[in-house]
Structure 1
Amino acid sequence: MSRRQMHLAAHFPGVNNTTVWSEPESGSQIEFSSFAHMARTAERAKFDFMFLAEGLRLREQNGAIYDLDVVGRPDNATILAAVAAVTEKLGLAATISSTFNEPYEVARRLASIDHLSGGRAAWNVVTSWDKFTGENFRRGGYLAQGDRYLRATQFLDTVMTLLDSWRGDEIVADKATGEFLRDADAGRFDVHVDQFDIRGRFSVPRSPQGRPVVLQAGDSDEGREFAAASADAIFTRHGSLEAGQAFYADVKRRLAAYGRTEDQLKILPATTFALGDTQAEAEERGRQIRRQQVSGQTALRFLEQVWNRDLSHLDPDGPLPDIDPLVVDGDTPRVSQGRAADRMYRDPLATAREWRERAAANNLSIRDLMTEVTSRQSFVGTPSSVAEQMERFVEQRASDGFILVPHITPTGLDEFADKVVPILQERGSFRADYTGSTLRDHLGLAPLDARASV
């Protein structure tokens, strides 16, 4: 039986609590050797791309630097330009905000990486959402959700206009004379929309892909619509098979309104994994990893993000607090700055009620509950059973593949590459080797015609 081909990508962790810092093999998240190691592992396993998240400000909680994230990370585009030099086929995906950047700068960075890598660049478009982050930038402030997506849409369109301003044949050498023939309109752009009023000449000739692959991370209705209109892949957090199928169906049905087919947008949920020689061993290892990822301190930090109170006095192995969350308003600031709690839990009072009911029904402590509610999709089992679980998601239209988030940096992907990937290859659900050189090739996306895109 012919199997659907799975797409696999690697997420370099650090901007959340995924990484188990206490493990002896946990390494640096700033030194280039860490990025190079994970990239080489992903390429050895024939992954589509490596993905870097980004934080534009060090996050804070209760007035102090949030100590569950890596403190600082170099610029994504700079890292991936360096990774391009130590890899040959692996796609390179950078998260870049449309709120606190300008189209010309982003287009130039992406086109440069695409040139340096031979056509492997990808852009994860995000809409930075909070005033706290905005304080790091000249214009400060923040944009309401509708305005963020308006800016993101016009930002993306403007970047593509700049990239398309070079068709690819503007400068041609005349073999007879040795002179170069130049097109006077090469690189010219003129954009006048609500968010941008720019005109000039783009400085980077057309790159191997023409345009980078566009990723979108967002589960909101606005995020789904943005992805359906413009993205090549969407990064989601839906974990169960049923939730994944519902998300998959909802996003894919939106594509027709934009003249797109289902194969033009790949749906890739984030996932973790725990392997063992037996199912029991894998399950025990999975429990141990989750307990390390959600320590007592971490559990209280997560709870504070919803309760909007300092809860450091509570016992993480005890019950949820009797008091209700403080609702953020003009007089009540948020204890967590730069975190996404207000997007994920837009009604903290309703979330508190739901969590109390869940904790009471299952006799869960604060730490137990936070371990459950912060869990990503996890595949737990022997290498063979994990391969089968992943295939089930793809075959039953819950995803087109996965973005793997290992719990150890930078070696956490090695075990999956060595033990699970060969089984997927043997079963015919994942490539045995790259069949093209660009990221668009890896994702099965149609090549762009330079002349058709202008």
Structure 2
Amino acid sequence: MTRTARRQMHLAAHFPGVNSTTVWQDPRSGSQIDFSSFEHLARTAERGLFDFFFLAEGLRLREHKGRIHDLDVVGRPESITVLSALAAVTERLGLAATVNATFNEPYELARRLSSLDHLSGGRAAWNVVTSSDAFTGENFRRGGYLDRADRYTRAAEFVATARELWDSWTPCGRARPFAHDGRHFSVAGEFDVRRSPQGHPVVIQAGDSDEGREFAASAADVVFTRHGTLESGRAFYADVKRRLAAYGRGPDELKIMPGVTFVLGDTAAEAQERAAEIRRQQVSPQNAILALEQVWGRDLSGYDPDGPLPDVDPDPGGELAQGRVRIGDPLAIAAQWRALAEAKGLSIRETVIETSGRQSFVGTPQEVAARMAEFVTREAADGFILVPHLTPGGLDDFVDRVVPLLQERGAFRTEYSGTTLRGHLGLPVPVWNSGRP
């Protein structure tokens, strides 16, 4: 691939609603379940010539202190069902479904994904996620049977088995019997959906651990990362791309696309002001206390969100929410937060705002376009998965004001050159029965 082509970024749209990025109290915010919301965002992404539309998944409502978290989203439809409907109202846009590899089976899921690929003319993608917590597992027959150490081994075998099924049809359109006997799956029979238009649906993977990076290098086509800074992005990019050679893969066979947010303004100052207001909407008083309790492992509901941090230390063994992993050392995090709050005179809510995720690209459309292009040029990313803060119109401004500037720079396509998602991403079509994972 030429250097000019490599600088062309890939863009995807994440439907907001299942994360703390979404601002529900904004009067412009719409439904997270009406089909019109999904259609609006998908049509906007296709108008902007995006590579794909991305849906997250939640297999159980979040709870906190034994109660459903009041600010959680309920009623989100199942991803492949929504994307199958979107296939009828879009023509080129890729359709990516998040589906859990822990609580599904290879034959059934391979069949659903292959069906979506046929319905869409080769635009399907699977974002592979795993789960090791018993809280989520209670919704399923086998419960929390899977040890954390096994989640990637099962996911890797799941992906490999699905690809065996997709490859079980011959190039001339005949089904071959398949048989797989592994540690997690033992299946045999005949796959009843012929090979799809792009060979295999595109496989997306999210994970920053060493195991996750290795899994991505061995089995994924796209990596969905959390690295929002240039420095951390370049380090992650170099590390994952370096691992590809061990699996006989080239650097262009895996696209690295961090999930990012954006805030636009007519001036840099206006954009910064908007970004600050959005952060205050995202971190409500209730969410600030919840974030504090996740670190402290204690009931802190009696504290004022606009008051100082607690003087009591975190309980290292405390757990107030099932199905969530406490990240890092609570005592060390508390010490960092206290030092920051003391130095800047911050309240609980202000401290959470300061230390939690913030908008990745803030500025005028020209500034945002230049910064995004720099990430791709300097090999911190191959593109971006945009996560707007409003449902469903949060992407409109970006498509109208930033995409044309990226196109003027030669940093983004001016038209679709193909019809399949693999074609949009510049990924090779899998060789039938190649033996690759």
Match of 2:91 in 1: 88
Q: Are 1:335 and 2:320 counterparts?
A: yes
Q: Are 1:78 and 2:86 counterparts?
A: no
Match of 2:33 in 1: 30
Bigger mean CA deviation after superposition, 351-360 or 426-435:
351-360
- Superposition pairs for residues 243-258 of structure 1, below 5 Å? 243-258=232-247
**What is the aligned counterpart of 2:429 among 438, 447, 450?**
447
CA deviation string 1:331-355 (max 9, x = no partner): x6x311234x42xx14323322332
- Superposition pairs for residues 43-442 of structure 1, below 5 Å? 43-170=46-173, 183=174, 186-328=175-317, 334-339=319-324, 341-342=325-326, 345-442=327-424
Query: 2 CA distance for matches of 1:205 and 1:141?
Result: 34
> What are the ranges of 5 or more consecutive residues in structure 2 without an aligned counterpart?
none
Cα drift, residue 405 of structure 1: 0.5
Cα drift, residue 377 of structure 1: 4.9
Cα drift, residue 13 of structure 1: 1.1
CA deviation string 1:88-113 (max 9, x = no partner): 00000111111111111110110000
Q: Is contact 2:229–2:360 with CA below 8 Å preserved after alignment?
A: no
Query: 2 CA distance for matches of 1:451 and 1:98?
Result: 23
**Counterpart code for 1:209:** Q
| 3-state DSSP of counterpart to 1:357 | helix
Relative to 1, partners in 2 of residues 1:398 and 1:110: Cα closer, same or farther, differing over 3 Å?
Answer: same
**Counterpart code for 2:392:** P
Cα drift, residue 372 of structure 1: 2.5
Cα drift, residue 382 of structure 1: 0.8
CA deviation string 1:36-60 (max 9, x = no partner): 1100000000000011110000110
CA deviation string 1:350-382 (max 9, x = no partner): 322332233333332221221132214521111
Cα drift, residue 129 of structure 1: 2.3
Match of 1:175 in 2: none
**Counterpart code for 1:54:** E
| 3-state DSSP of counterpart to 1:413 | helix
| 3-state DSSP of counterpart to 1:412 | helix
**Counterpart code for 1:289:** I
CA deviation string 1:268-318 (max 9, x = no partner): 111111111111111111111111111111111111122222211111122
| 3-state DSSP of counterpart to 1:336 | coil
Query: 1 CA distance for matches of 2:176 and 2:389?
Result: 44
Query: 2 CA distance for matches of 1:26 and 1:257?
Result: 46
Cα drift, residue 11 of structure 1: 0.4
Query: 1 CA distance for matches of 2:178 and 2:86?
Result: 31
CA deviation string 1:3-45 (max 9, x = no partner): 7101100000111111111111100000111001100000000
Query: 1 CA distance for matches of 2:362 and 2:316?
Result: 38
Length, aligned pairs only = 433
Cα drift, residue 451 of structure 1: 5.0
| 3-state DSSP of counterpart to 1:428 | coil
Q: Is contact 1:270–1:376 with CA below 8 Å preserved after alignment?
A: no
Q: Is contact 1:187–1:203 with CA below 8 Å preserved after alignment?
A: no
Q: Is contact 1:97–1:125 with CA below 8 Å preserved after alignment?
A: yes
| 3-state DSSP of counterpart to 2:416 | coil
Query: 1 CA distance for matches of 2:358 and 2:211?
Result: 22
Cα drift, residue 155 of structure 1: 0.8
Q: Is contact 1:62–1:335 with CA below 8 Å preserved after alignment?
A: yes
Query: 1 CA distance for matches of 2:346 and 2:233?
Result: 26
**Counterpart code for 1:247:** F
Match of 1:176 in 2: none
Q: Is contact 1:115–1:207 with CA below 8 Å preserved after alignment?
A: yes
Query: 2 CA distance for matches of 1:58 and 1:280?
Result: 38
Cα drift, residue 169 of structure 1: 1.5
Bigger mean CA deviation after superposition, 61-70 or 423-432:
61-70
Cα drift, residue 154 of structure 1: 0.8
Q: Is contact 1:164–1:453 with CA below 8 Å preserved after alignment?
A: no
CA deviation string 1:215-250 (max 9, x = no partner): 111111111111011111111111211111111111
**Counterpart code for 1:123:** W
Q: TM-score, normalised by structure 2?
A: 0.96
**Counterpart code for 2:149:** G
**Counterpart code for 1:215:** I
| 3-state DSSP of counterpart to 1:41 | helix
Query: 2 CA distance for matches of 1:187 and 1:73?
Result: 37
**Counterpart code for 1:386:** V
RMSD across aligned positions (CA): 1.6
| 3-state DSSP of counterpart to 1:305 | helix
Q: Is contact 1:115–1:208 with CA below 8 Å preserved after alignment?
A: yes
**Counterpart code for 1:397:** E
